[in-house]
Structure 1
Amino acid sequence: VGIIGTGATAVQCVPHLGAGAKQLYVFQRTPSSVDIRNDHETDAEWFRNLGSGWHQERMENFNTLVSGGFAEEDLVNDGWTEIFRNLRSMVMEDTGGELTKEELARKTELADFMKMEQVRGRVDSVVKDPETAEKLKPYYRQFCKRPCFHDDYLETFNRPNVTLVDTEGKGVERITEKGVVVGGKEYELDCLIFATGFEVGTDYTRRAGYEIYGTGGQTLTAKWKDGMRTFHGIHTHGFPNCFVMGMTQTGLTANIPHMLKEQAEHISYIIKRGLDGN
């Protein structure tokens, strides 16, 4: 089995593929930053004692922290909130938060470097083969690529049936009838998995699988032929009963479920006003 890509999709797939495949080749262009997820079972007693509205409170707490705001308590306490806790801590240290733009940039870069050194150090502590470990280390600042969190991804490369094929930033050369070619070498495969991302720049209706028609028979594809045009990412002129949910041209938050909930409530309000005759 071969898998092209080492981003968020592959980080989740590789541990399972490594456990089930006779031989797994992981084709890498750029290594991901993979920190510990530290997942564990939820304590049943703790869960029973959660008050009403706990989920909404956690979502809002998360959004506040990852947006650079201050919260007395970190209710989520995961890798994402840690990033911003560390940055805020460094900014406040010895300065009380009074910084010039230059000082803030320096503090931010230092906090970023310290975190990435921690991530790179984890690779060394988990991956046994030094050469493989070196290739798995992210060499960039933390948000150059989407940070990933997984407890088993790096450990998978200690399996004798798992091989990292690093393309040195070039990507695979070509795909043949038998497999994949990298660096002039052909890797024969029975199954090839593309963990290479998803479409975001194609027609909305192409991705949805159906066409949407507005007033006068205008199609949404024609309306958006030069790009998406909406009001708050929800409404588009000429399609009065069509509501769009998603991340484009809207009030985006780091916590996507929170954003979708806000959109759903707004759309529900508009529909209810319409049904009420107002």
Structure 2
Amino acid sequence: MTDDQGTPAGGRPGELDAIVVGAGFAGLYMLHRLRGLGLRVRVFERGDGVGGTWYWNRYPGARCDVDSIDYSFSFDEDLQQEWVWTERFARQDEILRYAEHVADRFGLRADIRLGTTVTAATWDDRAGSWEVATDRGDLCRARWCIMATGALSAPKDPEFEGLESFRGVWYQTGRWPQEGVRLAGRRVGVIGTGSTGIQLITEIAPQVAHLDVFQRTPNFSVPQGNRPLDPGYQERVKTDYPRGREDARSSRNGVMRTLDFPEPGHGVRPIQSAEPAPRDDPEAMRSELERRWAFGGANIVTTAYADVIVHPDTNAVVADFVRDKIRATVHDQAVAEALLPHDHPIATKRICADSGYYATFNRDNVTLVDLRRTPIETIVPEGIRTTERTHPLDVIVFATGFDAMTGALLAMDLRGRDGVRLRECWAAGPQTYLGLAIAGFPNLFTITGPASPSVLSNVITSIEQHVDWIAGCIAHARDRGVSEVEATPEAQERWMEHVAALADGTLFPRADSWYMGANVPGKPRVMLPYVGGVGTYRDVCDEVAAASYEGFALDGRVAAAAAAVTPPPPR
């Protein structure tokens, strides 16, 4: 807790037990758990409110692609019973209200410093603590430093020649103005057709005078199937939460089995399975895909068969099914063909979910600009000039994505032992142990960091697991008088080899995706998240903790057999 001036109660100014960077869902829960351990904590958040990605991404159409009843905390029974969601997939404003409710319900705001960006964090070997600096002149010390910076929190800045000459206005979806933007009746151009762009385009098309969609790479999108949540259904889920949450924690993607969508029994097989999962005949397969298409949801179609992400033949069946749906929806077949993804297997890029995206291109006021055929040459005062013509615009919206998983961490001047910069350590790609810790950076933890399930999971399930593990590790150290906890280089190397080997056994490396870091020029091309699944990953983390934090040096003492850490194969 802090006094009115933000000074830790019972301590000198700037002295804390723990510093948390970020006040999204990860930072809020981390603060709650650390308070429960009796620690003095401060959270620094660059936004002027809590909520993380749901504070910043206010663009029209912003909506979660995980079912609302799943996308919520499970750590407090009263909290999960009292909150009532209005839709199957909640909008940004509803999720933000939920985050604010959590902050208020548990009295978390007193220890959160809003509008404050952490610019540097440096490990002081002599003091055995972290020194954290902010853009507001704060200089704080704490034994523990936890990065709750989020996997998708560093938007890519637009890099287009001539942008400064544009006479209209331009925006980024990841930095959308709180007061909103007037788009009705204006000529709007959207660059980017990933998940964000698809949501935005579908939402604004009916209200703008004309919409030019500048597509660099076609993406697969499936119907979201959003609808108001039936109170009776929501009550049944809440009654079944104990089983459902446990089911989610042991699942591949961290979500509960949907009660109103009975599964036909296609079992989950190991991700590295050499043989395809048993498949129906072509007619039965199409019938199953049709059933899932009608129900809707980002991952419903692509999880029809467990080997979609492993075996090209199964993947092609699902991809062709979606391509046929696009052709059947878009009236102009030349436009339809331009919208068809052919450069990556389905689900190797983040699958998108929409509320009528492809039908949008049947509108008279919407034009698809295929940048592979007519690339952008420059932005000019009156709009965007491609190799074919100039598109007159009043507004340009950049939906160009994020420097995922590493961008927010590398934006800080983060230095470990001997002043070594994280940017130097990660020059060839991120290196972590379990996605939780980094060799050479004692007492530093990363929530849903690189080499953890993170963006391949329901992130709140993964956040809770990480926060609970970190809190347990800190409590373990405190109870045993341990002042420093650090991942060993050997354990980190073995974990990264395991992460890479699993990824290489899938189709993910065949796509130039942000999962692979391919969307950022110069970024090392490595698979950033762990593909082995939430349940398997949780088991590994639990085993590490049970073995006295195997793979970590505690005050320089390495737990027995740390160098021999070999994660089990995924289930």
| TM superposition shift of 1:217 | 5.2
1:60 aligns with 2:250: yes
**Partner Cα separation in structure 2 for residue 109 and residue 226 of structure 1:** 29
The 3-state SS of whatever aligns with 1:274 is helix
| TM superposition shift of 1:132 | 2.0
| TM superposition shift of 1:155 | 1.9
Q: Which amino acid aligns with 1:235?
A: A
- Match of 2:566? none
The 3-state SS of whatever aligns with 1:243 is strand
The equivalences for 1:1-278 within 5 A come to 1-50=188-237, 51-53=240-242, 54-58=244-248, 60-63=250-253, 68=269, 78-86=297-305, 108-140=311-343, 141-143=345-347, 145-168=349-372, 171-200=375-404, 204-207=408-411, 210-215=412-417, 219-221=421-423, 223-224=425-426, 227-250=429-452, 254-257=456-459, 258-278=461-481
Alpha-carbon displacement from aligned partner over 1:92-135 (angstroms, at most 9, x marks no partner) = xxxxxxxxxxxxx8xx4343233222212222332233332222
**Partner Cα separation in structure 1 for residue 390 and residue 399 of structure 2:** 19
**Partner Cα separation in structure 2 for residue 226 and residue 132 of structure 1:** 40
The 3-state SS of whatever aligns with 2:323 is helix
Q: How many pairs are equivalent?
A: 254
Q: 1:188 to 1:114 in 2, by over 3 A?
A: same
* Range with greater deviation from structure 2 (16-25 or 224-233): 224-233
Structure with the bigger percentage of helix:
1
**Partner Cα separation in structure 2 for residue 124 and residue 175 of structure 1:** 32
Give the root-mean-square deviation of aligned CA atoms: 3.3
Give the TM-score, by structure 2 length: 0.40
Structure with the bigger percentage of strand:
2
Is residue 224–residue 296 contact of structure 2 (8 Å, CA) maintained in 1? no
**Partner Cα separation in structure 1 for residue 389 and residue 457 of structure 2:** 42
Q: Which amino acid aligns with 1:113?
A: A
Q: Which amino acid aligns with 1:60?
A: S
| TM superposition shift of 1:11 | 0.9
The 3-state SS of whatever aligns with 1:149 is strand
Unaligned runs of 5+ in 2: 1-187, 255-265, 271-276, 278-294, 482-571
| TM superposition shift of 1:201 | 8.7
| TM superposition shift of 1:17 | 2.2
Q: Which amino acid aligns with 2:446?
A: V
| TM superposition shift of 1:161 | 1.5
Is residue 211–residue 367 contact of structure 2 (8 Å, CA) maintained in 1? yes
Higher relative contact order at CA 8 Å, sep ≥6: structure 1 or structure 2? 1
Q: Which amino acid aligns with 1:33?
A: F
Is residue 66–residue 80 contact of structure 1 (8 Å, CA) maintained in 2? no
| TM superposition shift of 1:260 | 2.5
* Range with greater deviation from structure 2 (76-85 or 192-201): 76-85
**Partner Cα separation in structure 2 for residue 213 and residue 66 of structure 1:** 45
Unaligned runs of 5+ in 1: 71-75, 91-104
**Partner Cα separation in structure 2 for residue 36 and residue 168 of structure 1:** 26
| TM superposition shift of 1:242 | 1.8
Q: 1:194 to 1:267 in 2, by over 3 A?
A: same
| TM superposition shift of 1:265 | 1.4
* Range with greater deviation from structure 2 (4-13 or 127-136): 127-136
Is residue 174–residue 182 contact of structure 1 (8 Å, CA) maintained in 2? yes
| TM superposition shift of 1:27 | 0.7
**Partner Cα separation in structure 2 for residue 149 and residue 29 of structure 1:** 18
| TM superposition shift of 1:248 | 1.0
The 3-state SS of whatever aligns with 1:152 is coil
* Range with greater deviation from structure 2 (123-132 or 2-11): 123-132
**Partner Cα separation in structure 1 for residue 251 and residue 431 of structure 2:** 31
